[in-house]
Structure 1
Amino acid sequence: MKKALIISHSVQSAEALSQLLKIEYFTQISIAENSKTAKKLVENDEFDLICINAPLAEESGIELSVHFARVTRSSVVIIVPQKNADDVNDALTEHGVLVIAKPINKHLFHHYLQFTECFRMRMLTVNEENEKLRHIVEDMKIINRAKLLLITCLNMTEQEAHRYLEKQAMDMRMSKMQIAMQVIKTYEN
């Protein structure tokens, strides 16, 4: 189930974009007429694609696209008039926002959406890997803190402290992290 948010001050353009997205298997499509409504929708839901039909009634849509690229994991696409496309593209490429020029070519739109989906999936994979690494680093910090406590409180060497944590984990059938937490609880008071 793919979810999209269309932001467009033109009801007719929003409906045309909605039809294009349905062809691309987006089954849940929300429409906002302005940035305030769009931000509220994004606060309460997660979208695979955020599509801004620029300009909006009260703004260009450029700042909004940067905002969504920064605070969401959604693919962000901004559709701009042909005469502005190159300048907008130069401003938004570094933020990871895809710029599409009006009028929209249906065939190219299909390929743009495939590209954004591929890019989004790679980004999600990288984010997952970063989360795993962050947890590993946090675990290492706790284990090293426990080792330091064993070294300072029980006069162990670094190797002895390391071996102690491993042996306790094995003997008690617990993780090294759980043993480290117990050591910290015991010796940090």
Structure 2
Amino acid sequence: LCIDISRNNGTIAAIFAANDTYDEIYAKVSVHGVFVLHKPTSKTLVSQAVSLMVCARERLRSLEKKVGNTESKLDEIRIVNKAKWLLIDQEGLSEADAHKYIEKSAMDSGITKRLAAQLIIDKYL
């Protein structure tokens, strides 16, 4: 359950393990980002573990945001490139001219390059 929770939502999970099974459980779940705490444990240790989990989650959120931004930029590049190649193929433009055409279309229409490129793709496909 803890492994599934950690995988699906980018959340941080913890599990308590008895001393005699701690090593076995740790070996199975730690590679999935699950925190494992000895059982019995103290209130202080649980508090410290929760603090570490909060820090880890915030770091994950930051990385997820960066990955999302990077994926969005790559997607935009793909769309613009596809539109450029359509302009090259359909209109006989050079790559530089196709790129300028997309940028000018975006500026003239007050839209993003991505949207301008998508409109070109929709026009030719």
TM over 0.5: yes
Runs of at least 5 residues in structure 2 that lack an aligned partner in the other structure: none
Tell me which of 49, 61, 66 is aligned to 1:124.
61
What is the aligned partner in structure 2 of residue 99 from structure 1?
Answer: 36
If each structure's helix is expressed as a fraction of its own residues, which one has the higher value?
A: 2
The CA deviation at 1:144 is: 0.7
Q: 1:164 aligned to 87, 94, 101, which one?
A: 101
The alpha carbon displacement at 1:168 in A equals: 1.6
Which of 81, 85, 89 does residue 148 from structure 1 map onto? Answer: 85
Match of 1:65 in 2: 2
Instruction: Tell me the equivalent position of 1:4.
Output: none
Q: Which runs of 4+ in 1 moved over 3 A?
A: none
* RMSD between aligned residues: 1.2
Aligned partner of 1:135 among 72, 92, 111: 72
Cα distance in 1, alignment partners of residues 41 and 109 from structure 2: 64
| In structure 1, distance between residues paired with 2:25 and 2:111 | 55
**Count of residues in Structure 1 that have an aligned counterpart in Structure 2:** 125
Could you tell me how far 1:171 is from its partner in structure 2?
2.0
- Which structure would you say has the larger RCO, counting Cα contacts within 8 Å and 6 or more residues apart? 2
Higher strand share: 1
